[in-house]
Structure 1
Amino acid sequence: MTRIVVLATGGTISSRPSSEGGSRAKDSAADLIRGLELHGLDDFGVDADGAGIELESEDIAVQNSFNFSFADLSRIAHAVARILRREDVDGVVVTHGTDTMEETLALLGFTHDDPRPVVLTGAQRSPDQFDSDGPRNLHDAVSTAASPASRGQGTLLVFGGEIHSALGLRKNHTVAPQPFGHRSTGTLGAVLESGPRYFAQALTPDPLPLPSAEFEEQRVDMVLGYPGADAALMHAALETGANGVILLGAGAGNPGVPLTEAIAQATAQGVLVGLGTRTGAGPVAVIYGGGGAVDAVAAGAVPLEDLPATQARILMALLLSTHSYSQAKQKLQARLNAQN
């Protein structure tokens, strides 16, 4: 018997209209599993031993992911690790809101230390809508988590019939049925009628320790570069105690003169600065001076390559929670180089 634990955290997949206005997370993991039965999606076939797939439900949160904090993400990571300490579990499916799913994917992707798969999924249309995508996504996620082919693939996202590796992933569209994509690569596989099929092997980094209480206390802010941007927001981040800042430059990562000067000030104070790009695809490229990425790197910023800024923020917080500024900077550079 293959046992998959469905760990629910809320999100659109569990949301229903609220008397207080708008939709809010409501359904539990058990509700989501019952939804599979209602939609005729509870038949997963048999496993390699000729036995069926048994689902177990657990709830860790029932809220929409735009309200999540580092503490919420940490609870999810620790719950997954706790479940996988059980020898009778073959995989974990985490249902999650799409708004900040890329952050939880990053935390699990950087800390998951087990060959058994962890698969995240969710929905773009809530269960009260006639064409809700939640049940099909959950069915596909369970099938993927139960497949022997998923072992060693690390943390995965299954959504809209596609299988993605966790790192490098971001939500690219607000309402599209399949809103996720990688900045520089394609899908890892697809879920077919016969089950999951992989086109490639995921690159899984050496795992970092699970998030600590210090991780939950980290402040890593994000600052956007734009025409006319001065350093006011960067200074505000420093004044409010940020341990790290991600600066999203224009184009290939060009912040402008005022912000490159602020980077030098931040790094002199021992604040880790990551240099990202506000564009939707492609890596940071150190090409331009005069306030461009050349000057930003010279001032001490670490180019984030093609890791999305939202995911780089999680990595920076993990590193800063266990290392000094100089050690965290060195390890951040090494991790980013290893990803490419």
Structure 2
Amino acid sequence: MDSETKEASSGIEADMTRIVVLATGGTISSRQHSEGGSRAKDNAADLIAALDKHGFDDFGPGIALEPQDLGVQNSFNFAFADLSRIAHAVAEILHREDVDGVVVTHGTDTMEETLALLGFTHDDPRPVVLTGAQRSPDHPDSDGPRNLRDAILTAASPDSREQGVLLVFGGEIHAALGLRKAHTLAPQPFRHRSAGALGTITGLSPRFFTRALWAEPLPLPDHEFERQRVDMVLGYPGADATLLRAAVDAGATGVIVLGAGAGNPGSALVQAIQEAIAQGVLVGLGTRTGGGPVAVIYGGGGAVDAVAAGAVPLGDLPATQARILMALLSSTHPVEEARELLAARLTSAG
């Protein structure tokens, strides 16, 4: 693929499928740094150029790539403001009628949060596809070029329309919501709590087994979203109210309590949940396990008591993604209304 095909131009590519590659950093762009360790470095044009170098420029005719950059950093440094910038950048790109899809390259560490924000707010039938890498471009077996090629093919496929936001990674296609990074180093680190992949990349063809559910979109985040504080508190043997009270004292508008098993926090945390709710804090009840939904089964300090105290069970939604939803709702609604909307959204998703 030559440079004229890859870069946006007027007139020449009018009949082509135009995919914008929006780079934000992450392992897919990281290289060894003189001060030690890998750091994000490559921009979108570098990532596209690497497709040629590694032999993954075999899209077939009709796809034009346009590089855009939105900072180059590793996603473990992201805050709500960074996630908001990505969501607004994607929305701005999709204001253009000449764009057929967007691919966002992103670090895997907090990709599930950005997937959540985009998944909750995306309101366009054109696909938004996130991807990244587990091995950097200076690694002898980097997975970035293949993942990027597969993401571009998926974004360009008519079958991806009206499926909301997708993740393409390790040859698989996943829905944005319900997804979490479940392994530190595996070539395919992402997994849904209770579901599987939507499809796979076979050769140069994305193949869907099923379609993603696409809920009613929420408004894009504003500056109030960026100011939200939503903390997470882990339940464990001997856990008391100290950390949850500290979160409330620090100004948290929301807290997620990650209970043991199916979401059982223990009696001390149930008492703290009740106190937090009395102070106007939105409380979600999650599970510290890696799979399965929150299930309201046990009393005596279990999920039954936590829900009776006012916590909202998060169902299948990972706590990392529920945190984004809670921040969105808390930024635009009073706490009681936010609690009702949170419960309704989670019920409809289940």
When normalised by structure 1's length, the TM-score is 0.98
Shift, 1:85, TM fit: 0.3
| Paired residue type of 2:58 | D
Structure 2 counterpart of 1:199 = 209
Q: Distance in 2 between matches of 1:331 and 1:81?
A: 24
> Secondary structure of the equivalent of 1:5?
strand
**CA-atom RMSD, angstroms?**
0.5
Work out the CA distance in 1 between the residues paired with 2:287 and 2:55: 44
> 1:136-178: CA deviations, max 9, x gaps?
0000000000001100111000000000000000000000000
Q: How many residues align?
A: 335
Cα distance in 1 for partners of 2:204, 2:170 equals: 16
In structure 2, what residue type is equivalent to 1:93? V
Shift of 1:61: 1.6
The answer to whether 1:181 aligns with 2:196 is: no
Amino acid at match of 1:42: D
State how far apart, in whole Å, the 2-side matches of 1:45 and 1:213 are: 42
Q: Which of 59, 70, 73 in structure 2 is aligned with 1:44? A: 59
- Percent of aligned pairs sharing the same letter: 77
Aligned-pair distance for 1:194?
A: 3.7
8 Å Cα contact 2:22/2:102 also seen in 1: yes
1:26 maps onto 2:41 in alignment? yes
The structure 2 residue matched to 1:213, chosen from 223, 226, 244, is 223
CA distance in 1, matches of 2:141, 2:217: 38
Gap regions ≥5 residues in structure 2: 1-15
**Counterpart of 1:157?**
167
SS at match of 1:263: helix
Deviation at 1:43, TM superposition (A): 2.0
2:119 matched residue in structure 1: 109
- Point out 4+ residue stretches in structure 1 off by more than 6 angstroms: none
Give the whole-Å Cα distance in 2 for the aligned partners of 1:256 and 1:156: 36
Q: How many Å separate the matches in 2 of 1:286 and 1:136? A: 42
- What corresponds to 1:133 in structure 2? 143
What secondary structure, in the 3-state scheme, does the structure 2 residue paired with 1:57 have?
A: strand
Paired position in structure 1 for 2:232:
222
Aligned ranges 1:59-138 → 2 under 5 Å: 59-138=69-148
Superposed CA deviations along residues 240-289 of structure 1, whole A, max 9, x for unmatched, are 00000000000000000110000000000110000000000000011111
Conserved in 1, the CA contact under 8 Å of 2:75 and 2:107? yes
Matched AA of 2:196: G
- What's the counterpart of residue 30 of structure 2? 15
Post-superposition Cα deviations, 1:310-334, rounded to whole Å, max 9, x if no partner, equal 0000000000000000110000000
Could you say what secondary structure the match of 1:203 adopts? coil
TM-score (structure 2 length as normaliser): 0.95
**2:63 alignment partner in structure 1:** 53
Question: Partner amino acid for 2:291?
Answer: A
Structure 1 residue 130 displacement after superposition: 1.0
- For the pair 1:285 / 2:295, whether they are aligned, the reply is yes
SS in 1 for 2:45: helix
CA distance in 1, matches of 2:58, 2:37: 33
Q: Which of residues 297, 306, 312 is equivalent to 2:307?
A: 297
Separation in 1 of the partners of 2:268 and 2:55? 58
The answer to whether residue 322 in structure 2 is matched with residue 332 in structure 1 is: no
Q: How far did 1:42 drift?
A: 1.2
2:343 aligns to what SS in structure 1? helix
1:239 aligned onto 2:239: no
2:260 aligns with one of 250, 254, 257: 250
- Displacement after TM superposition at 1:227 (Å): 0.4
Q: 1:312 aligns with which of 322, 331, 337?
A: 322
Question: Contact between 2:296 and 2:303, CA under 8 Å: does it hold in 1?
Answer: yes
Aligned partners of 2:285, 2:153: CA distance in 1, in Å?
Answer: 38
Matched with 1:49 is none
